[in-house]
Structure 1
Amino acid sequence: MKTVEDQRWQLSNGSGEQLASAGSLSGEAYTPVVHMIGNGHLDPVWLWQWQEGYAETKATFRSALDRMNEFPEFVFTCAGAASYKWIEENDPSMFAEMKERIAEGRWVVVGGWWVQPDCNIPSGESFARHSLYGQRYFLQRFGLTAKVGYNVDSFGHHAMLPQILKLSGMDYYVFMRPEKNEKSLPMNLFWWESADGSRVMAYRIPEGYCTHQFETSEPKIDAVKKIAEEQRTDQMCFYGVGNHGGGPTIANLQEIRAAREKAGQEAIVLSSPNAYFERMKVYGSSLPVVADELQHHASGCYSTHSETKASNRKAEHRLLTAEKLSAAAHRLLELPYDAAPFRMAWECVMFNQFHDIMGGCSIKEAYADARESYGYALHIGAVSMNAAMQKISWSIDTMRPGISSLDKNKDRTLWEQADQGIPVVVFNPLSWEVTAPVAVTQQMKGITDEAGIPVDIQLVRSSKTNGGDKYDTLFVGKIPAMGYRVYWIFRHKSFEVAVPDTTALVSEPVHSDSLRVTSSSIENDWVRLEVELHTGYIKSLFDKRSGIEMIDGRGAVPIVIDEHDCDTWGHGKLEFRNEIGRFTDAQVQLIESGPVRATLRVTSRYGQSLLRQDYTLYQDSADVSVRVKLDWHEKHKMLKLSFPVRVDEPKATYEIPYGHLERPVNGEEEPGQQWVDVTGIVHGSVSDANSSDHRTYGLSLLNDSKYSFDVKGNDLRMTIVRGAIFADHYGQRDDMCEYMDQGVQEFAYTLVPHAGSWQEAGIVRKAYELNVPLIHIVETYHKGSLPQSYCGIHLSSQQVVATAFKRAEDGDGYILRCYETSGHETETTLDIPMLNRTWTAQFGRCEIKTFKIPDQTELPIVETNLLEW
């Protein structure tokens, strides 16, 4: 190992300068160095649309190239593959000039992602795709990849990022927010560690990431130099006009020259993040370790512009589903797999994850653009998914005895002949067997599985009103992991459904005639839900398995928060608890009651707004499913749903990208993804309040499109909507201001009461099941090579989830990405029947693993990184 004195650093600025060694944190001979980082921060969308950002990118890059001609010592730093691609497409000659400067080392590529995204809302797989497409773009165009993660303007940074960065070829990370008044850090330079133990060297930018117009450089340089002396490490000082582009100005560089003459050439250097971190490597183990997330800034951003956030969640899951089905159809039936449309769709999703778009703080017109872009991505996903499903379903052997040809002579919509039923192929994109509802858009008399065993059915109201044809047929299917199963629907033939023996002890709910309803309650053998008639709040959520009441007081309470003093971002706001009212004046209606499910509809009001919640209980599940329709017309107000959980010593755990995190129950607004859980201690039961029995119990809240929550004590709240002004940074408000999220939105959430921990309750899987529903195709009779039930994957450990299955980027083989969900080490056997491959892998806690499975079965399966290298 080299000593500190042996370490030398060569500044690659063309000047041939060589700095003295960096010294050490405690060394007496330390000479601080200020690294001047020339950049032009580009928000491609914010107070302008992407077309303006496109034009500004060209001008900023042209200006940076001009500065290089004028100042031989100038080094430029720039992130975001999307910006580079714009230049490549629109000005090939300038792109060629950029390539020369990159090869020379004076134009430094950082941030190997598509854009600088919001770093809390995108899914774990979205971050993987930023790395995959961003880094591969840089390698293909410039022969290099970014070594430094770079998100100087993002509002917060989730705790799994160190692992994602390391798996993306980036050992370092630069950020600015949270700033020093928002989060205390031991120093600007530190090791940042995620739950799996991965570390990157991270740096918090002091004194801002850009130069404001007409601002002189000397005061900022002096301030950063003082920090370097206090912290006894080199510091980076960022300069250049930013946000709307611009980059380093002639005046900036002239002032830096003057400052270097005054302070000494080695005290102030024109540098890059790459060069800075290379020099800082000598500190090694001397740096402090931060094993935490980097929050809080702009806490209101995780609940603004509901449509964009819902589209993001929907697009992420649809593209992953389309890739899985397309890969399966390619393998099983040689359907061509075209990666180019998927890449284009992901580019749309990644671009819309830019922090000012995803954070809901851009202008109104920007969200019309985002809607178009998401629509494009969703359409590509839908077309690819349909092609794969149709290819598979058409290749299943569904022929019935006595049928020789297709003939639609008895039904205008179905091909059923001789009361033999018609096949419905139900697909499950998830990596475990899923039991979930399926609604066929037909009125049927009976349904069986592929073996002829009848299942319960129920007519439910359809979205159509076509004479008497206004009902769908609902049943609950059980579909193999990443596979499919055929069910048979019968127009005129009914069946007697056998009731299995329920006297044996079981750990999972089984069928029984358990659904019972009143005008204000629904229950099955597992739980009982009661609604308070005049308010519409949940009066009781009683777990019959444990004799425990889960709600402390009233639940699902729609609380209206005053936020007149808040800007769009929520700057300076850590809590939103200024309650000014509640939805009430409720109407409660039993709208469904049958053998499969029962539903209570609760409609309540506040001001000009209306909230409709449909509470559904299925016969064989303890989970309460809720569909919500909100018609919102409030301004400068926030709506939260409150769920006080009847536990002591509560702990709150939130899903974060490819992981989870326990946070304090202090009421602070926090970003989360598909689920939040509150678990604590229950003493005895309702029927035996004096019992000394202490049990762990909890309530999980799953959602399909929300990202903002808070927990104070035992009160879990999900933020539903904000009536904020578009892009209002405490501006001059008037009657012309336009407000977000006015009108109708729909979403879903699920309440899951559970004994024991959230891990034991399988909450991660349940959240995926809410977000990735079963999909189906109504088929007809035909011969085929495929069976009527097929399992595509088997994972021996319930802790491991497979999120991505697709063709490899190099076109040779398949990629399977998995992650450990519970925070505990495990060994897993992975079996993919369609590839005829089985292997075993060790997963550390919260570890992400990517496997490359070659087409040639004689070649070994290789564990690779997110870039598929």
Structure 2
Amino acid sequence: MEKEIQLHMIGNAHLDPVWLWQWQEGYAEIKATFRSALDRMNEFPEFIFTCAGAAYYQWIEQNAPEMFEEIHSRVKEGRWVIVGGWWIQPDCNIPAGESFVRHGLYSQRYFQEKFGVMAKVGYNVDSFGHHNMLPQILKKSGMDYYVYMRPEEHEKSMERNLFWWESLDGSRVMTFRNPISYNNWNPKKHEDAVQSKALEVLELAEKHEHNLMCFYGVGNHGGGPTIANLQSIQQLQDEHSKGQFKLSSPNAYFKEMELSNPAIPVFTDDLQHHASGCYSAHSETKALNRRAEHRLLTAEKFSTFSHLIAGFEYPATEIRRGWNNVMFNQFHDIMGGCSIKEAFDDSRDAYGESLNNAAVSLNAALQKISWSIDTMKDEIQSLNKDMDWQLWEQKDAGIPVVVFNPLSWKILAPIQINKRVKSVTDADGEAIEYQIVRGSRTNVDGDKFDTLFMGRIPAMGYKVFWIYKEKELPTPASTQCLLAETYALENNWYRLEIEPHTGHVRRLYDKQNKVEVLSGKGAVPIVIDEHHCDTWAHGVFEFRNEIATFSDAQVTLLESGPLRAKIRVTNRYNHSVLQQDFMLYRDKPGVEVKVKLDWHEKHKMLKLSFPVHVTDPKATYEIPYGYIERPVNGEEEPGQQWLDVTGIPVSGDLPQYGLTLFNDSKYSFDVKDNDLRMTVVRSPIYADHYGERDDQCEFMDQGVQEFRYALASHVGDWRNAEASKKAYELNVPPIHIIETYHKGILPQIAEGIQVTAENLIVTVFKKSEDGNGYILRFYETNGQDGETDLAIPALNRKWTVPFTKCEIKTLWIPIDPKQAVTEVNMIEMPI
């Protein structure tokens, strides 16, 4: 006899803590919804409730402890099922890879501590798209299964609603796409939505010849399953076989499907697209997110390093609080830019707290190190300021500047200090060249200039440089080229030419390889009309209705070397002003651009266009902790810190050539044929779902924003450009502290980590959550298996680690040096 097809009826309440309301309202609604779910359990003995979001449980624990205890007993009973394993249901494209890890780390450990369970099912039923590294992150966070809904069938046709989802490293999770809504809504508008939807999903299940899940319950603003919902299911059970519509949970469903082992396909790609406008809506929140993620990671690294070498007290509570805010603000309706205006005021406050917490912790850690460095000179007896009111310099002995590098490889980077000096030396006393550049102040006696020099800083370590207020030291002549003209910049690597009347890049010439990088004008600011879009840009996958470009150029040569040359291009469109500072450095390749945009447009988008001079182009995007190749079809795509177009050069003998674009705060791009475009800003109405528009509507992203991007061409593909590392160098610059003279236990140069494999990036070095050691996490960047030697001098540890392509690896380093370094999962538990 053929087995009867069943539906697992999933009682849930989709809870948007923020959307058309602020988080305070969401807080109240979560309490009411949880109370309602507990009431249903008292009224219907077979009812099972499914709920994600560790943040919600923490709110209940803090504000309604008696209800928290009731939930605890229901979890133990098995009728309240915890899924998700993350802080909230975030946007699943924009947060950094490490943010997704922290969602699992903090949430799964919270669930284990409070309820004795961890989520087995990843659960993001309303997120707008899902990047392809999630299977690995889910697996290594204790979740073997995944539930989502968007993109839906009309946005991305899938062979089945149940499939294996596989990331580039080979990790797989059994994944279920909810076929019709996560709540009671049914597009057929049947008078009994639950029954109508259940029968429709049952028909799909019979077509697929295996069981499916059907979700029910009032959602978005909470609510959950109602009495009427459960009575409707009872009616279905009465009219059909009782077992055909069973009250269940995602845990039970996946366990059953794994045992039955149906023939389901394997899918190896992103799950896109839904709401393509959300990758660029509300620039401020996205920029704050990027900055907070990097600052928290930098604070962790140097707090750990400072703890080891200088006895600094590791600020675990402050860092955790910072991550809690960041994780909450990654909720899909905040991070996706589609909430009300007041919600973004709250988001700004929370990011501010995280950024400040991280800044205070980081500064304390760095100054603990810098104060412990031996900077005393023989001719100095005691501190005094007879020579200068700002610097503690005496007897022309110089003043130490300690420069810290947060990255896991040695860097060459510009260091700009807010003092004008006459000479600079490195830790060995060798004079190095410097440049006087404009500072951010306009003080008396011409005090408006800074000093810029180039520094080589050890990996995740520091180096002391010395600045001299009056003493002049000769520097060796450089063989490197740096030329600056009114409309052109040139170094050993590039010649960059600006078209005078438009301000667009007329030419970018690769001198080393004799290649014209661009096939037409570059950095062209294109204005796109999007009056037809709502805030999400629902149903819109390309933005190509071009109506204008910024023009009316004013071009000014701001700096002319010897270390850096800079041209400022100012363009206008309507009442908006775009200012781009194009920079070449004498001693490093690449073009860096600092942008200031004053935007006053409505229902419009701004893109910067870079047509790459290649045929047969391929586009590769950075995604969280990985990369992905996507079609060059002009569709708007989410990306992280870099995007690359590589193809066959139109002229010359090179087999492959390309251009990589780096950014410090943007997440939305498109590539059509060879034209690479970065979306800078879009200005829809706040929380507009094709509503009735009037003159009182408020538009987002009005006013000034600042960001940076960079360009680097390369022979071969993006790997030759060291795309991932160069992107981090743009996003995580060195930090410096101007010190004074003092004795200390530390040398004037120190390396924090040694990594021999070039295709690894160490993103995390922190104290373990259990406090019994240290956690080091790295990821493979280029899709290549290998082995690396690792060393942390401060721990007197050296060891060798194998890794596989696109792997994210987490290592536990015990405090006891006799214990071996071992691999753990992302929640810091043994594998």
TM class by shorter-chain length? over 0.9
Deviation, 1:683, is 4.4
May I ask how many residue pairs the two structures share in their alignment? 824
Q: Give secondary structure in 2 for the equivalent of 1:463.
A: coil
Which residue type is aligned with residue 237 of structure 2? R
CA contact (8 A) 1:41 1:210 kept: yes
Which residue type is aligned with residue 705 of structure 2? Q
Say yes or no: does 1:456 pair with 2:433. Answer: yes
Say yes or no: does 1:197 pair with 2:170. Answer: yes
Equivalent residue number for residue 753 of structure 1: 713
Equivalent residue number for residue 55 of structure 2: 82
Equivalent residue number for residue 8 of structure 1: none
Q: Find the aligned partners of 1:267 and 1:361 in 2 and give their Cα distance.
A: 39
Equivalent residue number for residue 25 of structure 1: none
Q: Find the aligned partners of 2:262 and 2:731 in 1 and give their Cα distance.
A: 42
After superposition, what is the alpha-carbon deviation per residue over 1:490-509, rounded to whole angstroms, capped at 9, x for unaligned? 0011222113xxxxxxxxxx
After superposition, what is the alpha-carbon deviation per residue over 1:149-168, rounded to whole angstroms, capped at 9, x for unaligned? 00000000000000000000
Q: Find the aligned partners of 1:183 and 1:826 in 2 and give their Cα distance.
A: 36
Deviation, 1:696, is 1.1
Correspondence list, 1:264-343, <5 A: 264-284=241-261, 286-343=263-320
Q: Find the aligned partners of 2:716 and 2:220 in 1 and give their Cα distance.
A: 48
Correspondence list, 1:740-779, <5 A: 740-779=700-739
Q: Find the aligned partners of 1:280 and 1:216 in 2 and give their Cα distance.
A: 26
Equivalent residue number for residue 179 of structure 1: 152
Equivalent residue number for residue 827 of structure 2: 867
Deviation, 1:757, is 1.6
Equivalent residue number for residue 239 of structure 2: 262
CA contact (8 A) 1:30 1:232 kept: no
Deviation, 1:454, is 1.2
Which residue type is aligned with residue 385 of structure 2? K
Q: Find the aligned partners of 1:815 and 1:328 in 2 and give their Cα distance.
A: 12
Q: Give secondary structure in 1 for the equivalent of 2:45.
A: coil
Correspondence list, 1:348-387, <5 A: 348-387=325-364
TM-score when scaled to structure 2? Answer: 0.98
Q: Find the aligned partners of 1:311 and 1:303 in 2 and give their Cα distance.
A: 13
CA contact (8 A) 1:228 1:235 kept: yes
Deviation, 1:215, is 4.8
Q: Find the aligned partners of 1:383 and 1:552 in 2 and give their Cα distance.
A: 47
CA contact (8 A) 1:427 1:483 kept: yes
Which residue type is aligned with residue 67 of structure 2? M
CA contact (8 A) 1:513 1:595 kept: no
The runs of at least 4 aligned residues of structure 1 exceeding 6 Å deviation read: none
Q: Give secondary structure in 1 for the equivalent of 2:234.
A: helix
Q: Find the aligned partners of 2:727 and 2:473 in 1 and give their Cα distance.
A: 33
Q: Find the aligned partners of 1:216 and 1:653 in 2 and give their Cα distance.
A: 43
Equivalent residue number for residue 4 of structure 1: none
Q: Which of 739, 749, 755 is matched with 1:789 structurally?
A: 749
- Report which stretch shifted further, 279-288 or 855-864: 279-288
Equivalent residue number for residue 24 of structure 1: none
Q: Find the aligned partners of 2:491 and 2:185 in 1 and give their Cα distance.
A: 63
Equivalent residue number for residue 809 of structure 2: 849
Deviation, 1:46, is 0.2
Q: Find the aligned partners of 2:479 and 2:602 in 1 and give their Cα distance.
A: 48
Deviation, 1:282, is 2.5
Q: Find the aligned partners of 1:593 and 1:90 in 2 and give their Cα distance.
A: 61
Equivalent residue number for residue 803 of structure 1: 763
Deviation, 1:285, is 7.0
CA contact (8 A) 1:484 1:790 kept: yes
Equivalent residue number for residue 695 of structure 2: 735
Deviation, 1:338, is 2.8
CA contact (8 A) 1:216 1:255 kept: no
Q: Which of 657, 672, 675 is matched with 1:712 structurally?
A: 672
Which residue type is aligned with residue 744 of structure 2? G
Q: Find the aligned partners of 1:406 and 1:587 in 2 and give their Cα distance.
A: 49
After superposition, what is the alpha-carbon deviation per residue over 1:203-245, rounded to whole angstroms, capped at 9, x for unaligned? 0001100014975321111101001100111111100000000
Say yes or no: does 1:628 pair with 2:601. Answer: no
Equivalent residue number for residue 65 of structure 2: 92
Identity of matched residues, %: 62
Deviation, 1:54, is 0.1
Which residue type is aligned with residue 764 of structure 1? S
Say yes or no: does 1:610 pair with 2:587. Answer: no
After superposition, what is the alpha-carbon deviation per residue over 1:179-207, rounded to whole angstroms, capped at 9, x for unaligned? 00111211000000000000000000011
RMSD: 1.0
CA contact (8 A) 1:121 1:673 kept: yes
Q: Which of 200, 220, 233 is matched with 1:243 structurally?
A: 220
Q: Which of 608, 614, 635 is matched with 1:641 structurally?
A: 608
Say yes or no: does 1:126 pair with 2:120. Answer: no
Change (3 A) 1:554 1:283: farther
Equivalent residue number for residue 16 of structure 1: none
- Report which stretch shifted further, 849-858 or 283-292: 283-292
Which residue type is aligned with residue 848 of structure 1? I
Equivalent residue number for residue 573 of structure 1: 540
Deviation, 1:283, is 4.1
Q: Find the aligned partners of 1:341 and 1:145 in 2 and give their Cα distance.
A: 25
Equivalent residue number for residue 487 of structure 1: 465
Q: Give secondary structure in 1 for the equivalent of 2:407.
A: coil
CA contact (8 A) 1:698 1:755 kept: yes
Q: Which of 444, 452, 455 is matched with 1:477 structurally?
A: 455
CA contact (8 A) 2:773 2:814 kept: yes
Q: Find the aligned partners of 2:753 and 2:411 in 1 and give their Cα distance.
A: 13
Correspondence list, 1:31-110, <5 A: 31-110=4-83
Q: Give secondary structure in 2 for the equivalent of 1:412.
A: coil
Deviation, 1:640, is 0.2
Say yes or no: does 1:161 pair with 2:121. Answer: no
CA contact (8 A) 2:164 2:172 kept: yes
Q: Give secondary structure in 2 for the equivalent of 1:736.
A: coil
Deviation, 1:621, is 2.0
Equivalent residue number for residue 7 of structure 1: none
Correspondence list, 1:506-517, <5 A: 511-517=478-484
Q: Which of 652, 662, 669 is matched with 2:636 structurally?
A: 669
Q: Find the aligned partners of 2:650 and 2:698 in 1 and give their Cα distance.
A: 50
CA contact (8 A) 2:480 2:587 kept: no
After superposition, what is the alpha-carbon deviation per residue over 1:71-98, rounded to whole angstroms, capped at 9, x for unaligned? 0010000000000000000000000000
- Report which stretch shifted further, 668-677 or 838-847: 838-847
Deviation, 1:695, is 2.4
Equivalent residue number for residue 443 of structure 2: 466
Q: Give secondary structure in 1 for the equivalent of 2:318.
A: helix
Gaps of 5+ in 1: 1-27, 500-510, 686-692
CA contact (8 A) 2:299 2:359 kept: yes
After superposition, what is the alpha-carbon deviation per residue over 1:814-858, rounded to whole angstroms, capped at 9, x for unaligned? 000000000111111111111111111111110000000001100
TM-score when scaled to structure 1? Answer: 0.94
Q: Give secondary structure in 2 for the equivalent of 1:153.
A: coil
Change (3 A) 1:846 1:285: farther
Which residue type is aligned with residue 539 of structure 2? G
Q: Find the aligned partners of 2:270 and 2:219 in 1 and give their Cα distance.
A: 26
Q: Give secondary structure in 1 for the equivalent of 2:165.
A: strand
Which residue type is aligned with residue 485 of structure 1? K
Deviation, 1:512, is 2.9
Q: Find the aligned partners of 2:260 and 2:164 in 1 and give their Cα distance.
A: 11
Equivalent residue number for residue 812 of structure 1: 772
After superposition, what is the alpha-carbon deviation per residue over 1:346-382, rounded to whole angstroms, capped at 9, x for unaligned? 0000000000000000000000000000000001100
CA contact (8 A) 1:684 1:695 kept: no
Q: Find the aligned partners of 2:266 and 2:211 in 1 and give their Cα distance.
A: 18
- Report which stretch shifted further, 750-759 or 245-254: 750-759
CA contact (8 A) 1:362 1:726 kept: yes
Deviation, 1:30, is 3.3
Q: Find the aligned partners of 2:17 and 2:464 in 1 and give their Cα distance.
A: 47
